[in-house]
Amino acid sequence: MADIREVSELSKKVIVEVERAVIGKRDLLEKVMCAALAGGHVLFEDFPGLGKTLIARSFSTALGLDFKRIQFTPDLLPGDITGGYIFNRTKNKFELRKGPVFTNVLLADEINRASPKTQSALLEAMQEGQVTLEGETLPLPEPFIVLATQNPIEYEGTFPLPEAQLDRFMVKLTVGYPNLDEEKEILRRRRERQQDEVALMQVMKPKQLSALRASVETVHVDADIESYIAALVHATRQDRRVSVGSSPRGSLAFLKLARANAALEGRDYVIPDDVKRYAVPVLSHRLILQPEYWMSKSVTTDIVDDVLEKTPVPVIAPSPQPLSQTWERGKG
């Protein structure tokens, strides 16, 4: 098991390597890295051409993990994802042909273009890390991470993800457009390397991510921080604009990501800012709004902001020893 300092150093090296291909998205890359450290899946929702696929491929290379991509389309079948048993006439028996889900990093590109039946093929894989074929349960490679993308503007011919599947994504992230200087830097680097592909280096070995995850589990979480997380999630269920609030899986996502964020910053204890940083990524896709708010894209973010503002924040009392810090209830 690695110590917290090693977790921070290795994670930052991975991010720096990915930044060679993805320019100007440090905050986003840190969140993706924290999701990987926390053992969660990531849903990217943004416009085409912003680098969602590039981010997924770059992280898999830097982490030293196997990578496979599935282009979701309306005619995609569950067996195209999981694989199945094929009869081998030469050997006169059925043989298992594993689908692309048997990998470390799976990019589910435009996941909402496939039918609900096909989307459901990922439910067991994302939650239990296994696939059941013909009554036989097969474990997936460890680690297993799903990075999915969907387009927020094209709804014709798409199938919205069911709440059960959305809930299995630890975070939903947006990439956003680069600013003017970042776009100039993108052009300059492409001109100088004289090819589209960016040759990235492998920073970690595949088994190292599992060791880093084990270290993240040792990060201290005070009882008041846990109460703060529970209060945030509970508040989403009380808002009049919300039909269904966040599930307990949202609370667990907060806990895991807060620990990962603390480790990324080299701390062995969680502070409230670790939780607040992930409020929108964790909660935005877990809230089902009342019908009158369905057409407004900003309501979900407004709800999360209101919840953060109204929920009392634990305040750290000064202490020379980080892990023996006492906590007081207060407002941030």
Return the CATH number at 111. 3.40.50.300
**pTM of the entire predicted model:** 0.89
Q: Which of 173, 206, 239 is the last residue of a domain?
A: 206
Could you say which DSSP state residue 124 is in? H
Structure tokens that stand for 282 in this block:
């964790």
Residue 42 and residue 7 in one domain: yes
Residue 111 domain boundaries: 1-206
- Average the pLDDT over 75-96 and give the result: 87
- Which pLDDT score, from 0 to 100, does residue 162 have? 83
Domain shared by 202 and 223, yes or no: no
Same domain, 200 and 226: no
On whether both 189 and 331 belong to a single domain, the answer is: no
Q: What distance, in Å, lies between the first and last C-alpha atoms of the chain? A: 35
pLDDT-derived band at 290 (thresholds 50, 70, 90) equals confident
Q: Is residue 301 part of a domain?
A: yes
The pLDDT value given to residue 327? 44
Choose one of 177, 206, 235: the last residue of a domain. Answer: 206
Q: Is residue 213 part of a domain?
A: no
Neighbours of 133 (CB within 10 A): 16
Residues 33-61 have a mean pLDDT of: 92
- One-letter amino acid at 261 equals N
DSSP-derived letter for residue 201 is: P
Asked whether residue 237 is assigned to any structural domain, the reply reads yes
For the chain, percent of residues with pLDDT exceeding 90: 63
Structure tokens at 329: 């209830």
Alpha-carbon distances of 71 from 84, 142, 150, 176, rounded to whole Å? 19, 23, 11, 22
C-alpha 16 chain-centroid distance: 19
In sequence order, which residues have a C-beta less than 8 Å from that of residue 114 and are 6 or more positions away? 72, 73, 74, 76, 159
Residue 301 CA to residue 311 CA, distance in Å, equals: 15
Q: Are residues 183 and 325 in the same domain?
A: no
Site of tokens 């921080």: 225
Q: What is the pLDDT of residues 168-226, one digit of tens each?
A: 999 999 999 999 999 999 999 999 998 988 889 999 988 899 999 999 999 999 999 99
Residue 214 inside a domain? The answer is no
Question: What is the number of other CB atoms lying within 10 angstroms of the CB of residue 1?
Answer: 12
Q: Domains in the chain: how many in total?
A: 2
- Residues 55, 180, single domain; the answer is yes
pLDDT tens-place string over residues 228-251? 999 999 999 988 888 888 999 999
**Residues 286, 177 share a domain:** no
